[in-house]
Amino acid sequence: MSIKREELEKYLNQLLKVDEFDDLGPNGLQVEGCPQIEKIITGVSGCVELFEKAIQKNADAIVVHHGIIWEFENPVFKGGYKKRVKLLLENNINLFGFHLPLDAHDEFGNNAVLADILGLEDRQPFGSFNGMKVGVKGQIGQSSDHVFETIKKEINSDAVMFPSGPEKIEQAGIISGGAEKSIKEAVAEGLDLFLTGEVSEHVMHYAREEGIHFVAAGHHATERFGAQALGEHLADKFDLDVEFINIPNPA
């Protein structure tokens, strides 16, 4: 089966509620390619390696969490950036990027899937970014050892853990990616565990002093789930050929 580019664009923008987000760059279609889409590749970050693999798979569209257009950059068409754009244009491939919308979605978002993995119940929005709640918090009611084992098994075996909270984790907060600063919100809300992707040096001391478990399970590792879940949804809904390609990244 296939779908028109405009139809897919409209559906994704509505599904992920892109108009509700004040983001760091444009969400949605970032590079226009062919008008009819049969094969979609999903991934975490728009990069040369992903684009080359998508070309090998004869993809018509690529859907990623980290696109190639950011307001904090002023890219010129040289080096790696030139190669990214050149690969897309020469092969007539559409590129869709969804940043915060793919963090925050309550079913296909990175944080929603992470919450599924940890078994969070009674979920509520958590974690402010530009006035928006992009993370999730909820009840766990499991031993810290069990939760840590689940994280290592299902998310990242190399996760950095500061086990400074109670033996039984009642409430946890999750914000994928680089949200280590939000540990202060987790403490303020009385959470027992805060899970994110990245960590700074001072966080260990803060977690110990405030008595909270902190886990940095990797920016990439915590943000590979949304693109994969979204792709599976598109495959089911539109009977499309959708494939997730993971480009490993230890960060």
CB atoms within 10 A of CB 145: 12
Pick among 3.40.1390.30, 3.40.50.300, 2.40.170.20, 3.40.430.10: CATH of 3-99+224-244 = 3.40.1390.30
Of 86 and 128, the one with more pLDDT: 86
pLDDT at 128 over 90: no
pLDDT at 73 over 90: no
In whole angstroms, give the CA distance from residue 192 to residue 211.
Answer: 8
Pairing of strands 36-37, 3-4: antiparallel
Helix axes 79-90, 48-56, angle to 10 degrees: 20
pLDDT band at 229 (very low <50, low <70, confident <90, very high): very high
pLDDT tens-place string over residues 187-208: 999 999 999 999 999 999 999 9
**pLDDT value, residue 39:** 98
DSSP structure string for the chain: --EEHHHHHHHHHHHTTGGG---SS--EEEE---SEE-EEEEEEE--HHHHHHHHHTT-SEEEEEE-S--TT----SSHHHHHHHHHHHHTT-EEEE-SHHHHH-TTTSHHHHHHHHHT-EEEEEEEEETTEEEEEEEEEEEEHHHHHHHHHHHT-TT-EEE--S-SEEEEEEE--SS-GGGHHHHHHTT-SEEEES---TTHHHHHHHHT-EEEE--HHHHTSHHHHHHHHHHHHHH--EEEE-------
Of 230 and 75, the one with more pLDDT: 230
What is the CATH number assigned to the segment(s) 104-219? 3.40.1390.30
Mean pLDDT, residues 205-230: 98
**pLDDT value, residue 179:** 96
Q: Give start-end residues of each CATH 3.40.1390.30 domain in the chain.
A: 3-99+224-244, 104-219
Mean pLDDT taken over the chain: 97
**pLDDT value, residue 167:** 98
pLDDT band at 130 (very low <50, low <70, confident <90, very high): confident
Residue 66: closest CA among 241, 229, 226: 226
Mean pLDDT, residues 159-187: 97
pLDDT at 76 over 80: yes
Mean pLDDT, residues 44-55: 98
**pLDDT value, residue 72:** 87
**pLDDT value, residue 91:** 98
**pLDDT value, residue 132:** 85
Handedness of CA 151, 153, 154, 157 (dihedral sign): positive
pLDDT band at 27 (very low <50, low <70, confident <90, very high): very high
**pLDDT value, residue 75:** 83
In degrees and rounded to multiples of 5, residue 62 shows phi and psi of -125, 135
For 211, residues 6+ apart whose C-beta sits below 8 A from its C-beta are: 164, 165, 166
pLDDT at 153 over 90: yes
| Among 25-29, 117-121, 131-135, 234-238, the least confident range | 131-135
**pLDDT value, residue 74:** 82
**pLDDT value, residue 131:** 79
Side chain identity at residue 131, one-letter code: G
